Amino acid sequence: MNRIDRLAAIVTMLQTKRIVRAEDIADRFEISKRTVYRDLRALEEAGIPLGAEAGLGYYIAEGYHLPPVMFTAKEAGALLTAEKLVEKFTDKSVDHQYKSAMDKIKSVLPAVQKDLLEVLNPNIRILQENNGAIMDFPNNFLTDIQHALATRKVLKIDYYAFHSETLTEGRYVEPIGLCYYGFSWHLIAYCRLRNDYRDFRLDRIKTLTLTDEKFKSYDKLPFTEYMQGLYRDLNMDPIVVRFNKSILTFVEKPKYYYGFVDEKEVGDQVEMYFMTDSLPYIARWIITHGDKAEVVNPVELKHEIVNLVNELGRHYL
């Protein structure tokens, strides 16, 4: 990227946040902080009113209006691809909001780029479907949860636990984060009913109400710290399974449906780590790989597989 393009990109970046750190600019454009300071001075000399807060970062003075941002053809194509992914891998609420945002973006694009998107649109497909919501579950709460996270608002939910097949109504939770794994979105929150942190799959939430009550963020576990200790969460089972390398072709794609999080090579095997709240669910998948799969942890999963094998034996004998 030449300097002129970089200066324009820095101006755009400064518009994305209230304050932008010099370190973030350096990382984004792979330049030194010294170069960042030179670029910022160049922008000021060009008439861009920049401000700075000691120890925090830089910003564009409030009230200064810049010309509308124009997208390149590649950027417009990237946005269209993102729209396809949003449609498949988020819920109805986010899909609706993103389509609305894309309509606004398309409305200011030059005619040539609009024509480009018209050509691209029918020729980009995401064939992988999402895990799908349970019947009668709305699956349209992601934007409300995002708002609750940003404003530290308490949520009231009715939640269906798959492993026990029970619906618990009126659970008040204090959200600390959202994460996507196992082809599902998960809300990490402090549950007042259980007096502990819990992992709630969004497609198992029957109803959700955004309350007016604010909770104190400083006495809640930071989301990053929760993720670092995810294996220790009481609502999750840390699962370790070793697969023979000869069957990796059959494991590589399906593993993501069962909460895959990490893997490492161990001799002629690959040791994979999964997070799930349903041992029977993953046990039925593991058993399909016969003696090419070995459960390392937990012992309860081994017992689950033995029980399944015995059931099959009784069924066919």
pLDDT tens per residue across span 281-313: 899 999 999 999 999 999 999 999 999 999 999
Q: What tokens does 24 get?
A: 């973030």
**What does the pLDDT read at residue 215?**
92
Band of the pLDDT at 234, cuts 50, 70, 90? very low
- Rounded (10°) angle between helices 92-107 and 73-89: 160
Residue among 226, 140, 132, 133 nearest 175 (CA):
226
Neighbour tally for 27: CB within 10 Å: 12
**What does the pLDDT read at residue 169?**
93
Asked if residues 171 and 157 have their Cβ atoms less than 8 Å apart, the reply is yes
Asked if residues 59 and 18 have their Cβ atoms less than 8 Å apart, the reply is yes
Q: 164 or 194, which is more confident? A: 194
- Is the predicted pLDDT of residue 228 greater than 60, yes or no? yes
Say which range, 1-5, 12-16, 221-225, has the weakest mean pLDDT.
221-225
Asked if residues 109 and 67 have their Cβ atoms less than 8 Å apart, the reply is no
CA distance 291 to 293: 5
**What does the pLDDT read at residue 210?**
95
Band of the pLDDT at 76, cuts 50, 70, 90? confident
**What does the pLDDT read at residue 68?**
63
Mean pLDDT over 27-49 rounds to: 92
Give residue for tokens 């830089």: 58
Q: 147 or 88, which is more confident? A: 147
- Is the predicted pLDDT of residue 236 greater than 60, yes or no? no
- Is the predicted pLDDT of residue 131 greater than 70, yes or no? no
Q: 209 or 220, which is more confident? A: 209
Q: 203 or 225, which is more confident? A: 203
Q: 291 or 123, which is more confident? A: 291
Q: What is the mean pLDDT of the chain?
A: 86
**What does the pLDDT read at residue 20?**
92
Mean pLDDT over 139-157 rounds to: 93
Mean pLDDT over 19-32 rounds to: 93
**What does the pLDDT read at residue 220?**
79
According to DSSP, residue 133 is labeled P
